[in-house]
Structure 1
Amino acid sequence: MTGPVHRNVERVTAALRDAGADPARVARLQVLPGAVTTATAAAAALGVEVGQIANSLVFDADGEPLLVLTSGAHRVDTGRVAALLGVGTVGRASPEFVRAATGQVIGGVSPVGHPAPLRTLVDRALEAYDEVWAAGGIAHAVFPTTFAELVAVTGGTPADVA
């Protein structure tokens, strides 16, 4: 990265380092020339399969934020997730809810770097890939990681979410 770095990217980088992420992967965080707010756009920009994109989706789970890191190749089954967690409902979170929970905006939410830890599920489908890519706190930033590292740095729970 060259030039000024967005404060969210700095928070994500610091959170990854503090959580023990592989320094070589952290150093590969990229700020792309254009926003990649969908898994398809991110995969195209990086030249990887859409399934390798770890979408960071924030849901409202009975009024509490829930972060689901899911493969870009499929959609989260909110009924399944609600049953898995033992909550009444898991629904789409408003942009304001997402920003309050993460300090980041939809389209650039990172797995880490939030004001407080979030309850997190990590899609087991991501385990099929040696390398996955996640958002770096803004819609232009991405970083490489692994399924195991995502679980470790987020304190997340592996789950079948689709």
Structure 2
Amino acid sequence: MAGKKSSKERVQDAIDALGLNSQVVTMPDSTRTAEDAAAACGCAVAQIVKSLIFERHDNHHLVLLLIAGNNRADLDLAAGVIGSTLDRADPKKVRAETGFAIGGVAPIGHLCEMEVYMDPDLLQFETVWAAAGAPNAVFKVEPQALAKAAGAKTLSLD
């Protein structure tokens, strides 16, 4: 398929289009886990943005949770904020609808629209690192700029 962009290229295009002033970086080793990503990026695990995709139970639409690398997604809290319980999304559905495979899901550059919610713990940092379309690709960004670019609501009861 000539002319088809890679997932990493799609993320870089989204970074540029959204004015995020960042570059996709390909690491020599996997950044699939938050711990691996933090080691590769030279940052705290809490500065890693985990992009977790779930499916709303009520309408089966995908929902993206951007969670600090040291936190676990609180699905009960999320359900209260979102208005639906969340189910684990099928990896094939994630790939078909977002264009990303599990392990490289970026917070931006999806092929589809979806609700996005961000862990407020990410907002305490000057910069965070997020997946960029492949298990070894990341980009560095200001968390407030990422939240705005992704259209993310804060995942908080406040």
Q: Is residue 160 from structure 1 mapped to residue 153 from structure 2 by the alignment?
A: no
2:8 is aligned to 9
1:71 is aligned to 68
Partner SS state of residue 148, structure 1: helix
RMSD of the alignment, in Å? 1.4
Q: Is residue 134 from structure 1 mapped to residue 108 from structure 2 by the alignment?
A: no
Equivalent in 76, 80, 83 of residue 86 of structure 1? 83
Contact 2:48 2:130 in 1 (8 A): yes
Deviation at 1:71, TM superposition (A): 0.2
Task: Please identify, of 117-126 and 94-103, the stretch whose mean Cα deviation from structure 2 is larger.
Answer: 94-103
Residue pairs, 1:118-133, within 5 angstroms: 118-133=114-129
Cα distance in 1 for residues equivalent to 2:49 and 2:33: 10
1:56 is aligned to 51
Cα distance in 1 for residues equivalent to 2:148 and 2:82: 19
Deviation at 1:146, TM superposition (A): 1.6
For structure 2, list consecutive stretches of 5 or more residues without a partner in the other structure. Answer: none
Could you list the runs of 4 or more consecutive aligned residues of structure 1 that deviate by over 4 angstroms after TM superposition? none
1:32 is aligned to 27
TM-score using structure 2 length: 0.90
Deviation at 1:117, TM superposition (A): 2.2
Cα distance in 1 for residues equivalent to 2:146 and 2:97: 19
CA deviation vs aligned residue, 1:26-57 (integer Å, no higher than 9, x gap): 23x21011221110110011111100000000
Partner SS state of residue 94, structure 2: helix
Partner SS state of residue 129, structure 2: strand
Q: Is residue 18 from structure 1 mapped to residue 9 from structure 2 by the alignment?
A: no
TM-score using structure 1 length: 0.88
Q: Is residue 97 from structure 1 mapped to residue 93 from structure 2 by the alignment?
A: yes
Give the total of aligned pairs: 151
Deviation at 1:160, TM superposition (A): 2.8
CA deviation vs aligned residue, 1:72-128 (integer Å, no higher than 9, x gap): 1110111111111111x2122121122123111111100111112221001100011
Partner SS state of residue 15, structure 1: helix
Equivalent in 42, 50, 54 of residue 47 of structure 1? 42
